[in-house]
Amino acid sequence: MSTFKGAIVVDKNRCKGCALCVLACPKGVISLAVRKVNVHGYPYVEPVDLDRCTGCSSCAIVCPDGCITVYRKKLENENGE
């Protein structure tokens, strides 16, 4: 069975910390950075558990500021190789 493995990159200085992506992510990959703010003074999100990311793009689609870039790779076997 082939599976997908994904990864996201967050433009933290564009992020305003609305956390809509945190709600949209079905795997709990993203979370608000704890007690940290960006150059604009906004809290921001960061990937905390990228191993679970499937690259479904839900976070990026709901992001109002277009801060998230999504990558996805198809894996050929169950071991994730």
Partner 1 sequence: MTANDIISPENLVYKKPELMNDTPMHYCPGCSHGVVHKLIAEIIEEMGMEEKTVGISPVGCAVFAYRYLDIDWQEAAHGRAPALATAIKRLWPDRLVFTYQGDGDLACIGTAETIHALNRGEHIAIIFINNAIYGMTGGQMAPTTLIGQKTSTCPYGRDPELHGYPLNITEIASTLRGTCYVSRQSVDTVGSILKAKKAIRKAFEASMKGLGSSLVEIVSTCSSGWKLTPEKANEWMREKMFEEYVKGDLKDTTNLK
List contacts with partner 1 (CB under 8 A): 5-7, 9, 14, 16-20, 23-24, 40, 42, 47, 50, 53, 55, 57-58, 60-73, 75, 80-81
Closest CB to partner 1 among residues 34, 74: 74
Q: Are 17 and 11 in contact (CB under 8 A)?
A: no
Nearest to 1 by CA among 81, 63, 76, 80: 76
Closest CB to partner 1 among residues 34, 47: 47
Provide the minimum distance between the beta carbon of 14 and partner 1 in the complex, in angstroms, as a whole number.
Answer: 6
